[in-house]
Amino acid sequence: MNRLARFSVSLDTRLLAEFDRHIRRRRYTNRSEALRDLIRDNLVGEEWDENKETVGTITFVYDHHVRDLTSKLTDIQHDCHGHILSGMHVHLDHDHCLEVLVVKGKGSEIRKVADALVSVKGVKHGKLTMTTTGKSIR
């Protein structure tokens, strides 16, 4: 087990009050847990910036009635099959579908896949959510 280190932080009282509100909203048990999550989130972002092997999800909503849209989305996914590990397709209503793709690879490559999918005409909204393989986070 890793040893714990204690340190102090000086903050403006208004910033600390905002942080405490954040802690309550997110239901953290203490400031240390919240601070650890913030640090980990920053480190995960650096993994993506450094082009390390990472994982994430690409989520997008589209109108499946748009001409050739499903074909274009499928073609992009087939072209990027080396980065797409899994996918889920959900029919939201008569017109709209949601897709969630689990992706893995270097950060810049994953961003290209997400940009290619989200920019297709007929995709109403899309988002890349980045996370980590967990190998370098304690």
DSSP conformation class of 20: H
Q: What is the chain's pLDDT, residue by residue, as a tens digit (138 residues)?
A: 678 888 898 989 999 999 999 999 999 999 999 998 888 888 777 777 667 788 999 999 999 999 999 999 999 999 998 999 999 999 999 999 999 999 999 888 999 999 999 999 999 999 999 887 777 666
Residue 117's closest CA among 38, 65, 61?
61
What tokens appear for 52 in the block? 């390390």
Residue 56's closest CA among 135, 133, 136?
133
Residue reference for tokens 């954040």:
22
pTM of structure: 0.76
DSSP conformation class of 66: S
The whole-angstrom separation of Cα 53 and Cα 56 is 11
